[in-house]
Amino acid sequence: MKGNFTFYNPTKIYFGLNSVGNLKYELDNYGPNILLAYGGGSIKKNGIYDKVMEILESKEKKVFEFKDIMPNPTLAKLLEGRSLCLENNIDLILAVGGGSVIDCAKGVSASVFVDDPWEEFWLLNKPATKAIPVGAILTMVGTGSEMNGGSVITNEEEKKKKGHVFGPNVFPRFSILDPTYTYTVSKYQMCSGIFDIFSHLMEQYFSGDDDNVSDYLIEGLMKSLINSTKLALKNPKDYEARSNIMWISTLALNTLVGLGKDQDWEVHSIEHQISAYTNCSHGMGLSVISPAYYRHIYKYGLGKFYRFAVNVFEVNPLGKSVDDVAKEGLNCLTEFIKDSDMVTNLKELGCTKDMLIKIAVSSDIEQTSYKVMTADEIYEILLESFEG
Amino acid sequence: MKGNFTFYNPTKIYFGLNSVGNLKYELDNYGPNILLAYGGGSIKKNGIYDKVMEILESKEKKVFEFKDIMPNPTLAKLLEGRSLCLENNIDLILAVGGGSVIDCAKGVSASVFVDDPWEEFWLLNKPATKAIPVGAILTMVGTGSEMNGGSVITNEEEKKKKGHVFGPNVFPRFSILDPTYTYTVSKYQMCSGIFDIFSHLMEQYFSGDDDNVSDYLIEGLMKSLINSTKLALKNPKDYEARSNIMWISTLALNTLVGLGKDQDWEVHSIEHQISAYTNCSHGMGLSVISPAYYRHIYKYGLGKFYRFAVNVFEVNPLGKSVDDVAKEGLNCLTEFIKDSDMVTNLKELGCTKDMLIKIAVSSDIEQTSYKVMTADEIYEILLESFEG
């Protein structure tokens, strides 16, 4: 742990079958006015909405609905939630859904007390000094938003999707994680979430050449994720597999496994712009460009890519060059993507060729990658990923 | 994650070189009266006491000293601290030291508001509903006390050393971890702490036959600990190695890596009674009995011991029986203990043969071990460990 760090994660996690029952105890900590944030209404089909409403009513809460939160939530949507909070003196924002719903809820939470959220958070990068409490009930995994203080919001006018870290005030006070709530998610969304998790782990792993405890944790999470993904693909109602995936998702982005490390995040920066142009599923955008991106940088972090191959994908290094082992590891990554039915080309995500240069020039350049990108290189990576 | 769990860990960690500088910001959150808890005075020799006092004085705090906290802190010592708190209207207990000092500080913190601490916590096992805030500055690693709500106290009269989990109210509000603060600890104490960490990981790992994310995390921490131990033995001032050991120590017992798992803790139960009779160093007591204990139980959890051998000690399983691989893993554990100059027999810890039966019959029997012990079996394990 060469780097200094501060770690503080005050989110309380209730994990497991029927853990939603804990909501009633948590609600005692907040006033009567609840903003119920959710997405397109799948929670009405699978019964989660009714269950949550029943608990809210048993506690005599006044519920204000903030619905139709879209994947890749927009600044306009955030401002709609902000108005609802201001008009109704909201005491708790209860987000029921996946990462987009929780991200939007956290964005609303932090924006109520500032004049211009986009400027203060996304442009000036300020932390939130005051926020309305957020609680989360997770129904789809991948983003890790349930146990961190971050949020990704899209400014549609500027075609810019951007992440912000608000800090501890915006961490959900509690998050309820029942693996069975993820059973009704489509296979496409399940796989998209899984690759989002895997990418979070890779973004934190592929940096630095030190011997950092965090890297050992990441390797363990990657191995566990690969094992459970195989089982969940065979049987989406395999409770143990789905529960492992759910918990790995939380741990992959609750700041723990990146402590003391430089981190990369270039793949996320590029994907955010693919999403901004195509509105594609985030995880699938990541799965498309990751192989080409890592082929471009592996020589600059050869030791780590060798270690990835051996420790995560169990490549046998005997009698092989370091370079060959590293490349074999990247081949295993590509196989994992294909075997898990993830998307492998930009065309399938709705990307057109003339978008590529716009995506390349609008992507943020991360400074702690093994190889700091140029727009030209990003363009090359996008070209290589176009037809897969 | 077959088992349900609640996870909540509100301790704020400041980690790294010169992280003590954060103390001045934390002190703003508390009133003027500080109980400064420490041990035999080593912090006066290495300059940490002066540094901390300088910061306390700069914040105009009134300092009350609670010193000479012994290894294996006693109930009598706890009651002394309790009186100091009651007499001086203490706002914050600042523990500067290793696990014994922090354990004692947490015991004091929880005991101030109850009439009979031994009865309420240790006999009736109640959580602490009210407590004086505790902050910690760690100078010796192993117990993990800096990021959990537990405490181990010895009742000298009854010759009983017992752990208690007080719950979130007694978690340190903040803990400051500067790896260089551990440099002046003797090699004996460093190695004792390292085996305490390794034992915490084994106690949580060796139970259950499920596929649990926590086990993957534990394997990663064990591998990292083995690597850094080798480097720290060569050069105790290897910052990276000592910082890794320090952070692994915290993660090994902040409740994270045991989530969703049955756990064992029989080795700790036996060792507590060895300590109660000999006042030996806790980690060395664990290192002495672990090999014999695991030889006694491995057949009942064969799959996990096989996995331990392959994933932690990198035993090559090719062409070997599962039993042979598992045994080879246990041999590697014994080698690790010997190579790290840890104690390997009870005699060296001051144990006499007539103590063995007393230790055996007074040890708690844990119900979630792969093989639930009898006093006879514990006696056998102690006999096997007597001369090493």
3-state secondary structure chain B: CCCCEEEEEEEEEEECCCHHHHHHHHHCCCCCEEEEECCCCHHHHCCHHHHHHHHHHHCCCEEEEECCCCCCCEHHHHHHHHHHHHHHCCCEEEEEECHHHHHHHHHHHHHCCCCCHHHHHHHCCCCCCCCCCEEEEECCCCCCHHHCCEEEEEECCCCEEEEEECCHHHCCCEEEECHHHHCCCCHHHHHHHHHHHHHHHHHHHCCCCCCCHHHHHHHHHHHHHHHHHHHHHHCCCCHHHHHHHHHHHHHHCCCHHHCCCCCCCHHHHHHHHHHHHHCCCHHHHHHHHHHHHHHHHHHHHHHHHHHHHHHCCCCCCCCCCHHHHHHHHHHHHHHHHHHCCCCCCCHHHCCCCCHHHHHHHHCCCCCCCCCCCCHHHHHHHHHHHHCC
Q: Is A226 helix (H, G, I), strand (E, B) or coil?
A: helix
**A6 to B22: CB separation less than 8 angstroms, yes or no:** yes
Q: Is A53 on the interface with B (CB under 8 A)?
A: no
- CA B295/CA B267 separation, integer angstroms: 12
Farthest-apart Cα atoms in chain A, separation:
69
The confidence score (pLDDT) of residue A388 equals 77
Average pLDDT over residues A287-305: 98
**B211 to A244: CB separation less than 8 angstroms, yes or no:** yes
Residue A146 C-alpha from the chain's centroid: 9
The confidence score (pLDDT) of residue B97 equals 97
Strands ordered across the beta sheet of B33-37: A62-66, A33-37, A92-97, A134-138, A174-177, A5-15, B5-15, B174-177, B134-138, B92-97, B33-37, B62-66
The confidence score (pLDDT) of residue B197 equals 98
* Sequence letter at residue A133: P
**A4 to B16: CB separation less than 8 angstroms, yes or no:** yes
pLDDT of A312-326, one tens digit each? 999 999 999 999 999
CB neighbour list of residue B363: distance below 8 Å, 6 or more residues apart: B266, B269, B270, B272, B273, B373, B375, B378
Long-range Cβ pairs for the range A148-151 (8 Å, 24+) = A148/A9, A148/A11, A148/A253, A148/A254, A148/A255, A149/A106, A150/A103, A150/A106, A150/A253, A151/A103, A151/A104, A151/A106, A151/A107, A151/A110
Neighboring chain A residues of B244 at a CB cutoff of 8 Å: 1, 211-213
Burial group, residue B280, by CB count within 10 angstroms (0-12, 13-18, 19+): buried
Average pLDDT over residues A343-366: 96
Task: Find where tokens 């019959």 sit.
Answer: B361
Closest CB to B1 among A8, A9, A243 = A243
- CA B304/CA B211 separation, integer angstroms: 10
pLDDT of A32-56, one tens digit each? 999 999 999 899 999 999 999 999 9
**B5 to A17: CB separation less than 8 angstroms, yes or no:** no
Q: Is B247 on the interface with A (CB under 8 A)?
A: yes
Instruction: For chain B, positions 212-241, list CB contacts with chain A under 8 A.
Output: 212-213, 216-221, 223-224, 227-228, 239-240
Instruction: For chain B, positions 353-372, list CB contacts with chain A under 8 A.
Output: none
Number of H helices, E strands in chain A: 15, 8
Closest CB to A216 among B1, B6, B223 = B223
Q: Which of B154, B69, B68 is nearest to B118 (CA)?
A: B154
The confidence score (pLDDT) of residue A340 equals 96
Burial group, residue B28, by CB count within 10 angstroms (0-12, 13-18, 19+): exposed
**A216 to B221: CB separation less than 8 angstroms, yes or no:** yes
Instruction: For chain A, positions 4-33, list CB contacts with chain B under 8 A.
Output: 4-19, 22
* Sequence letter at residue A252: A
Q: Is A18 helix (H, G, I), strand (E, B) or coil?
A: coil
Average pLDDT over residues B52-69: 98
**A211 to B179: CB separation less than 8 angstroms, yes or no:** no
- Crossing angle of helices B375-386 and B355-362, rounded to 10°: 140
Q: Using the predicted structure, report yes or no on whether residue A117 has a pLDDT greater than 90.
A: no
The confidence score (pLDDT) of residue B158 equals 84
ipTM: 0.96
What is the count of residue pairs from A and B with beta carbons less than 8 Å apart? 127
Average pLDDT over residues B302-319: 97
Neighboring chain A residues of B221 at a CB cutoff of 8 Å: 213, 216-217
**B213 to A224: CB separation less than 8 angstroms, yes or no:** yes
**A15 to B8: CB separation less than 8 angstroms, yes or no:** no
The confidence score (pLDDT) of residue B303 equals 98
Closest CB to B7 among A5, A15, A22 = A15
**B22 to A12: CB separation less than 8 angstroms, yes or no:** no
Q: Using the predicted structure, report yes or no on whether residue B388 has a pLDDT greater than 80.
A: no
Instruction: For chain B, positions 136-195, list CB contacts with chain A under 8 A.
Output: 179
Best of A12, A14, A216 to disrupt the B interface (most B CBs within 10 Å) is A216
pLDDT over 90, % of chain A: 91
Neighboring chain B residues of A224 at a CB cutoff of 8 Å: 211, 213, 216
Burial group, residue B320, by CB count within 10 angstroms (0-12, 13-18, 19+): middle
Q: What is the Cα Rg of chain A in Å?
A: 20
| Confidence band of B112 (pLDDT split at 50, 70, 90) | very high
* Sequence letter at residue B53: M
The confidence score (pLDDT) of residue B123 equals 81
**A244 to B1: CB separation less than 8 angstroms, yes or no:** yes
pLDDT of A213-269, one tens digit each? 999 999 999 999 999 999 999 999 999 999 999 999 999 999 999 999 999 999 999
pLDDT over 70, % of chain A: 100
Q: Using the predicted structure, report yes or no on whether residue B162 has a pLDDT greater than 90.
A: no
Average pLDDT over residues A71-81: 94
C-alpha dihedral sign at A232, A234, A237, A239: negative
In this prediction the pTM is 0.96
Q: What are phi and psi of B32, to 5 degrees?
A: -80, -20
Q: Is B1 on the interface with A (CB under 8 A)?
A: yes
Q: Using the predicted structure, report yes or no on whether residue B279 has a pLDDT greater than 80.
A: yes
Q: Using the predicted structure, report yes or no on whether residue B165 has a pLDDT greater than 90.
A: no
The confidence score (pLDDT) of residue B325 equals 98
Q: Using the predicted structure, report yes or no on whether residue A386 has a pLDDT greater than 90.
A: yes
- How far off is chain A from B278, nearest CA to CA, in Å? 35
Average pLDDT over residues A341-364: 96
pLDDT of A17-29, one tens digit each? 999 999 999 999 9
- CA B150/CA B378 separation, integer angstroms: 25
Average pLDDT over residues A159-176: 91
